[in-house]
Structure 1
Amino acid sequence: MTMTITTSIARQSEMFHNYVAGLDWVLQNKVSPCVVVLALSTGGSQVLDEAVKTLHDAGCVVVAAAGRSSEQAKTERSWPVLGWSRGLRAPLPVATSAPGPTPEAGMDDFLHEACRRSPARSPYVMTVAASDSVDAAPSWSNTGLCVDLFAPGQDIYTVNFKNDDDYLYASGTAMATAYVAGAAAIHLADGVMEAPDTLPSQLVNELIRMRILKDASTCNVMEAGEGTPNRLLYIM
């Protein structure tokens, strides 16, 4: 079953309240296991991050858009190669574009692009950046340490939400996020994990994440951004 939840963000003051209310509705009406796609990227919000964690702990695989940035910002930041984990995640040996500072150099070095955004910065989501038709990262896509992987996100032929009978070409990390969510749903539906019913849902979520990252191709994304995990979605 697929559900689309739309929240009103007509006024900035209402945005977080309505966004969290939408997540709460999903929490109360979900059917486990579930996959949640969060296309909206906002400034850092502890309230939103906590709501996402609640969904994760309830057994949902949460996939979030990395958001947009400027080309100039991308060229002005440097990032660590590997070895620092978000939240409770263990370090993963991933390929990156270039060496950068270590976490001890100061957290300010890491609070750029996706790491400045919610829910993209949360350790309880899979954060997705965009790639284009030649496997390059568009200049507008957020990158950085908090990105888990890239997926197609430029000039995607999709439905027009303003008209049920119309289609259009759209670009954004939200488009890329949908591809990764689809991969997660495939793994859940196929029972790839073969996890017993007694396995905690949080562990199942992490197994799905690890499977997607393990299957991803590495070192194929051009202009990925310094220190960004260079993984591109691939479904085995």
Structure 2
Amino acid sequence: GADTARAGSLTGRHGAGLRTVFATGLRGFSFQGSATAARRIAADPAIAYVQPNAIVTIAATQSPTPSWGLDRIDQRNLPLNNSYTYSNTATAVHAYIIDTGILFGHSDFGGRASSGRDTVNNDNDATDCNGHGTHVAGTVGGNAYGVAKGVALVGVRVLNCEGSGTTEQVVAGINWVTANAIKPAVANMSLGGGANTAIDDAVRASITSGVTYAIAAGNGFLGLFALDACTQSPARVTQAITVSATNSSDAKPSWANRGTCVDVFAPGISITSAWYTSTTATNTISGTSMATPHVAGAAALYLQNNPGAAPAAVQSAIIAAATTGVVTSPGSGSPTRLHYTAGF
């Protein structure tokens, strides 16, 4: 269309090669060229900004202990009571898992998981070859491991078998959700990296279109120490629900990101869920990646009962429902809110 022609003309004029044109959600394009070409394209009055095609990654670590997250989110205080109570299963809601894909045939999904888009290979087969996306999907909506046990799960593969992807791939996946989401809809992004305007803008446009986003706060610097989530993308998007992690004692681990951009904490240490190696496989892993789908699942429960709710209303409901004052060592600037689902 006209966007493609204009982008092609602009990049060609400066000796760069056009790669992908984004027409829905974040409007723009990706190109390959020299630093000089990038500077010249950035100087064009039609261009808002140019940024490198940066890498974003998952954030999860291995741990041997059994899962407890579902047990924690339906009660205000410890100790755990070995049960998870829920009022609905979100059967009318679609959850878009923007991640490494999903093992669609896994028994925990009961035939409710389908493929949306694969922006790594540019096809419609978002099959998982890493495990992270399958694990996240299981926490959002698995029969056994999920918060919303009847939600329709849709895989949007933007990260490769090693768990990393480019800005171009991630933006394309977000834009696909913006263009194709069946409402009411929630999206889970258990991924991120340093400040990235293009990814932030794509997420904001998707939220404006009516999709509620739950986003991982991030696992700090190389998993060693926490960073301010307001320095990370897309964690810093204020219109999204940004989630950091707690352990089974309601404490934030030292590496989980912190700060005023965190909306709520959720269980993220030693979480058991579905895995990609077989249709019955499970794995127990940790990270803000594992905390986030507890919130995405709860957003789906809320949308089942409030199907016309805008993303801002869903975000407000999640924040208002949370248990305050229980998270210890939350980190500088962080709230002390722990995710709570019983009201949904």
Instruction: Tell me the TM-score range normalised by the shorter chain.
Output: 0.7 to 0.9
Match of 2:268 in 1: 153
Larger relative contact order (Cα-Cα within 8 Å, sequence gap ≥ 6): 1
User: Pick from 249, 253, 257: which aligns with 1:142?
Assistant: 257
Q: Does residue 31 in structure 1 map to residue 182 in structure 2?
A: yes
Relative to its length, the structure with more helix (as a share) is 1
Are residue 53 (structure 1) and residue 204 (structure 2) matched? Answer: yes
**What is the TM-score of this pair, normalised by structure 1?**
0.75
| Misfit runs of 4+, over 3 Å | 8-14, 70-74
Post-superposition Cα deviations, 1:154-184, rounded to whole Å, max 9, x if no partner, equal: 0001111343321010101111100001111
1:128 to 243, 249, 256: 243
Flag the 1:222–1:3 CA change in 2: closer, same or farther, 3 A: same
Note closer, same or farther for the CA distance 1:32–1:140 as it changes in structure 2 (3 Å cut): same
Please state how far the C-alpha of 1:13 moved relative to its aligned partner.
10
Q: How does 1:62-77 map to 2 (within 5 A)?
A: 62-69=213-220, 73-74=225-226
Q: Residues 245 and 252 of structure 2 are in contact (CA less than 8 Å); yes or no, is this contact kept in structure 1?
A: yes
Amino acid at match of 2:192: S
Distance 1:58 1:10, change over 3 A: same
Residue ranges of structure 2 left out of the alignment (5+ in a row): 1-151
Deviation at 1:123, TM superposition (A): 1.4
**1:11–1:185: structure 2 CA closer, same or farther, 3 Å change rule?**
closer
* 1:75-224 alignment runs, 5 A limit: 112-191=227-306, 204-224=310-330
How far, CA to CA, are the matches of 2:164 and 2:332 in structure 1?
35
Q: Is the 8 A contact 1:184 1:212 kept in 2?
A: yes
One-letter amino acid of the structure 2 residue matched with residue 232 of structure 1: L
- What secondary structure, in the 3-state scheme, does the structure 2 residue paired with 1:181 have? helix
Number of equivalences: 190
- Computing the radius of gyration from Cα coordinates, the structure with the larger value is 2
- Could you tell me the TM-score, scaled by structure 2's length? 0.52
Q: 1:22 aligns with which of 153, 157, 173?
A: 173
Task: Note the C-alpha offset of 1:10.
Answer: 7.2
Deviations 1:35-60 (A, max 9, x none): 00001111111100110011101000
Judged with a 3 Å threshold, the aligned counterparts in structure 2 of structure 1 residues 214 and 14 are, in CA distance, closer, same or farther, namely closer
Question: Identity of aligned pairs, percent?
Answer: 35
